[in-house]
Amino acid sequence: MKEIIEKVKNRDRINLDEALKLYDLELLELGKLADSIRVERFGKKSYFNINRHINPTNVCKDICKFCAYSANRKNPNPYTMSVEEIVDIAKNAWEKGAKEVHIVSAHNPEAGLNWYIDSFKKVKEALPDIHIKALTAAEINFLSQEYNLSYDEVIDRMIECGVDSLPGGGAEIFAEDVRDKICKGKVSSSEWLEIHKIWHSRGKKSNATMLFGHIESRRDRIDHMMRLRELQDVSGGFNCFIPLVYQRDNNYLKVEKYLSANEILKTYAIARILLDNIPHIKAYWATSTINLALVAQEFGCDDLDGTIQKESIQSAAGADSANGLELEEFVGLIKNSGFIPVERDSLYNELREL
């Protein structure tokens, strides 16, 4: 273990087995290692943006066992917004100060390709300066299969219609044996990575996620991060890694207990240490709770996402994120935790310290 600790302190790259052993460290010792990297890169700055999540439909052809959002017998209230409704929500968010709309939804075979694509075009026409982060790799894979288009064709249409960056959703956990149990039939791990590689080849940025705390192992988590690190070495397009804490309500996975705060914080810290080529690690408060996200700032996380305004996917599974946080409250929480709130744009350019 001493050799691994020295490698981390010397900023030498660690491998899968070494990263796995870091889980055996005492929490505060591990946190100190991750925090030293965070402070070296960002000091006491904690980044956030003023954003609005829009989830335009919950009608989905896939049935992922961890999902409480899609319309099925656990959620018997299907909906699909019109393009006009999506544009109106974006306009309202812009008026309230949002600089980004994060548009992610289900895999709706009834909505039509133009519904997906035209909504971005109409939002951009109405709000040319807003940043559109939209369509997970899982959605791109769905559209590709549903309409017999290549990934390149879907991506080119997205860019033509104003999509600026790609969210990191749909990655779940890359271990295929686990995917077979929790999201069989959805985009595969290799397809997810291929889509992001193509997106990066267009000179565009994206994020990457990992859903953890369900039936995956610690090794599965490390393997997931390693695959992201390998792609980042090639493409360099990931802005941020976002470990998403599994929410257990209203879905079909029989997970009896939440992860402990100790395990969640260790996973954040290991992500910061292992992912030496991905700039930012986000404690997404919508899944971790705002209180744990604030603590995670001491364990390698330099980003807390944003005010969100409204969120439907995680809150459907039990997260306390349905109505977001007010900016003043969000800034106050960061300051009271001993960090410097820095508003950023969607590509991590600093806009202002608060």
pLDDT per residue over 307-329, tens digit each?
755 444 443 444 343 455 788 88
Residue with tokens 């393997």: 223
Percent of the chain with pLDDT over 70: 91
> Which residue pairs from 315-318 have beta carbons closer than 8 angstroms and sit at least 24 positions apart in sequence?
315/286, 316/68, 316/69, 316/75, 316/250, 317/66, 317/67, 317/68, 317/69, 317/247, 317/248, 317/249, 317/250, 317/251, 318/68, 318/247, 318/248, 318/249, 318/250
Whether 37 contacts 268, CB under 8 Å: no
Cα distance between residue 71 and residue 63, in whole Å: 9
Average pLDDT score over residue span 336-348 = 96
How much is the pLDDT for 326? 81
pLDDT digits (tens, 9 = 90+) for 190-201: 999 999 999 999
How much is the pLDDT for 122? 97
Q: At what angle do helices 137-146 and 151-160 cross, to 10 degrees?
A: 110
Q: In what order do the strands lie in the sheet with 45-49?
A: 303-306, 45-49, 340-344, 350-353
Does residue 48 have a pLDDT over 90? yes
- HSE-up of 97 (CA within 13 Å, CB side)? 11
Query: Is the pLDDT higher at 54 or at 75?
Result: 54
How much is the pLDDT for 308? 59
Q: Which two three-digit tokens encode residue 310?
A: 């409204």
Least Cα distance to 123 among 165, 84, 79 occurs for: 84
Phi, psi of 16 (to 5 degrees): -60, -50
How much is the pLDDT for 267? 98
**pLDDT class for 176, splitting at 50, 70, 90?**
very high
CA 62 to mean position of chain CA atoms: 20
All structural domains of the chain: 2-345 (3.20.20.70)
Does residue 163 have a pLDDT over 60? yes
Does residue 334 have a pLDDT over 70? yes
| C-alpha distances out from residue 294 to 26, 34, 161, 182, 276, Å | 20, 15, 36, 29, 22
How much is the pLDDT for 312? 43
Does residue 220 have a pLDDT over 90? yes
How much is the pLDDT for 87? 97
How much is the pLDDT for 315? 38
How much is the pTM?
A: 0.92
